[in-house]
Amino acid sequence: MPTQLNQRHNANAIRILAMDAVQKANSGHPGAPMGMADIAEVLWREFLNHNPKNAKWANRDRFVLSNGHGSMLLYALLHLTGYDLSIDDIKNFRQLHSKTAGHPEHGYADGIETTTGPLGQGIANAVGFALAEKTLAAQFNRENHEIINHYTYAFLGDGCLMEGVSHEACSLAGTLGLGKLIAYYDDNGISIDGEVEGWFSDDTAKRFEAYGWQVLSVDGHDAEAIYKATQAAKAETDKPSLLICKTIIGLGSPNKQGKEDCHGAPLGADEIALTRAELGWADDTPFAIPQEIYQAWDATEKGAALEALWNEQFAKYQAAYPELAAELQRRLAGDLPSNFEQIADDFIKLCNQKGENIATRKASQNTIAAFAPHLPEILGGSADLAGSNLTLWSGAKGVQQHADGNYVHYGVREFGMTAIANGVALHGGFIPYTATFLMFMEYARNAVRMSALMKQRVINVYTHDSIGLGEDGPTHQPVEQIASLRNTPNHFTWRPCDTTETAVAWKMALTTAHAPTSLILSRQNLPFQARTDEQLANIEKGAYVLAHEKGELKAIIIATGSEVDLAMQAHSQLEGVRVVSMPCAEKFMEQDDAYRESVLPAGVRARVAVEAGITDYWYKFVGLDGKIVGMNSFGESAPAKDLFAHFGITADAVVAAVKSLI
């Protein structure tokens, strides 16, 4: 049990580092770190199981700072407990190429589990961590061998609770009974604009009780109370826990604590001097931390012992269950089974032989059914559209009904679903896929961006990809969404034209370990396109010549998805024209110059792109002199066939565009 005096003195080290770093950078948020320092001290020194010398230890507890603007809190904790984050790194806060960025960035420094810039997504990521822990434990633990057994702790603030994604994620966490998820709410009553009671008057306790959480209220500056509340949270195994911690933002600052003044701006040199005196901090040298405080915080010896104990437990597990142990190690490493590529290639060849005329959403379901039995790490899910997205397969087991399942019914929670999937991917041991209509990618958009930013293998299945979905009308018909996804850095967008390209797209998504992939799939049936072995091999390159020109090459038609068939129809009516299927423009742009030139010769300026989406994206491939057959407006409600004719996305339109250029 911590003593109040020691706790406060140790916590003050966080306050000193936070206000000094923000002052030196002349930028940042000192208030939250200073207000939450007491909670952090109890959690990190009394409860958190981690090893600063091995930040990737598999059974470590996960810590998420969802209110990521208070990043100096996390940086101070990592520095004080012994991670590879020096005092010079702290001094370099918010500077170019620093480990200590303005918001915690995954991959910049050891110990940062997830990037938490946009508020609310951190707590959603934490739900993903807890979901992954519970599911992985159910899949691998055996009697007397609890090899996966850790907690997920999250800090969050008023902003996280105001963001709708926190409702989506926390509601599902209660339904799933994620008992090893413990969140600490920094209830300080202040946001950037001032006192939140004018715009945030929710009864947070009742809200979370309604979700099915255990809710505890505590003085966020009382070490003993925080300790006991955390013990109570850990004792509740069937419900996630929310600790509502009443705190004072900027605690210790005589003139600014409890006010918005300290939320997002430096305290100022004079106020820092007054704060040091108020805290009883003897040394007025910036960034100076007494050695005895470093010793009190140092977690390296304890962390090494915790990991060593786990390694002993794992050795016993390995002896008792060698195959399970090897499988767990493979999955935690993020490696696919050694025979997966051969399995995928065999299925791709089978698709090419069968030549089915089916919707690519159905082709996707067939591919999942072929691949998933060989990939137990797949953890799929849909936002209440499984029967439309076709993401369920014969071996799917819902985690709601089976703790060791492989499928999540996310409900109508597109944003929460995607942010949770990011947490699942970050945890390790799983490859998550999500699903919804392409139009509703817009709800999930920022979480898609975050998976790209964090280089996570998350697969997004987006069906009903164009006006081809028909009668549901313009609210459901995507126009600009594919271009938006293609313009996202470190993200791959595959829009296959048939069963074969769909299978290849899934293979590429699964084998792309450091980026997310979105699969753009049709509602309507699409005709199969015959290919040679060479063409089949080139699909993986993102674009390839599907139909060669008759005679001298005069023009090129570039198409994706359902519009590839329109290009092929046009090809049959034209001389000197080739058709290029481009299921993934981003992958094509990664190819070497020679291959790209072989597909799209620079000397052939007569180019037409055809896609039932916004036209502007395609100028990068056809040039300003080329023609684009596509959408320049929103859709309408009508049968698909009528819509393609109405908007001029037809084979005749493609033929006319080509002839106008030759």
- State pLDDT tens for residues 151-204: 999 999 999 999 999 999 999 999 999 999 999 999 999 999 999 999 999 999
- Which pLDDT belongs to residue 7? 75
- Judge whether 150 is annotated as a binding position: no
- Judge whether 117 is annotated as a binding position: yes
- Which pLDDT belongs to residue 4? 55
- Judge whether 159 is annotated as a binding position: yes
- Which pLDDT belongs to residue 536? 98
- Which pLDDT belongs to residue 490? 98
- Judge whether 440 is annotated as a binding position: yes
For residue 237, pLDDT beyond 90: yes
Structure tokens at 579: 């058709």
SS3 state at 435: strand
> pLDDT of 389-425, one tens digit each?
999 999 999 999 999 999 999 999 999 999 999 999 9
> pLDDT of 641-662, one tens digit each?
999 999 999 999 999 999 999 9
> In the chain, what percentage of residues exceed pLDDT 70?
99
Instruction: Tell me whether residue 414 is one of the annotated catalytic residues.
Output: yes
For residue 5, pLDDT beyond 60: no
pTM of the complete model: 0.98
Q: How many residues does the chain have?
A: 662
Residue 173, C-beta contacts closer than 8 angstroms, at least 6 positions apart: 127, 130, 131, 181, 211, 213, 240
- Which pLDDT belongs to residue 3? 53
- Judge whether 29 is annotated as a binding position: yes
Cα distance between residue 539 and residue 581, in whole Å: 8
> pLDDT of 592-640, one tens digit each?
999 999 999 999 999 999 999 999 999 999 999 999 999 999 999 999 9
Residue 170, C-beta contacts closer than 8 angstroms, at least 6 positions apart: 123, 127, 208, 211, 213, 240
For residue 9, pLDDT beyond 80: yes
- Which pLDDT belongs to residue 2? 52
- Which pLDDT belongs to residue 1? 54
For residue 307, pLDDT beyond 80: yes
- Judge whether 373 is annotated as a binding position: no
Q: Are 351 and 499 in contact (CB under 8 A)?
A: yes
CATH architecture of the domain with range 541-660? 3-Layer(aba) Sandwich (3.40)
> pLDDT of 95-123, one tens digit each?
999 999 999 999 999 999 999 999 999 99
For residue 6, pLDDT beyond 90: no
Q: Is the C-alpha dihedral spanning 621, 627, 628, 629 positive or negative?
A: negative
- Kindly report, as residue ranges, where domains of CATH 3.40.50.970 are found in the chain: 5-303, 339-520
How far is residue 620 from each of residues 187, 541, 594, 616, 627, measured CA to CA in Å?
A: 50, 18, 18, 9, 12
Mean pLDDT of 228-253: 98
Catalytic residue among 113, 168, 260, 414: 414
* CATH code matching the domain that covers 339-520, chosen among 2.40.440.10, 3.40.50.970, 3.30.950.10, 3.40.1710.10: 3.40.50.970
Residue 455, C-beta contacts closer than 8 angstroms, at least 6 positions apart: 107, 490, 514, 515
* CATH code matching the domain that covers 5-303, chosen among 3.40.50.970, 3.20.20.210, 2.40.50.100, 1.20.1250.20: 3.40.50.970
Mean pLDDT of 498-503: 98
Cα distance between residue 558 and residue 567, in whole Å: 8
- Judge whether 97 is annotated as a binding position: no
- Judge whether 402 is annotated as a binding position: no
- Judge whether 106 is annotated as a binding position: no
Quote the mean pLDDT of the chain. 97
- Kindly report, as residue ranges, where domains of CATH 3.40.50.920 are found in the chain: 541-660
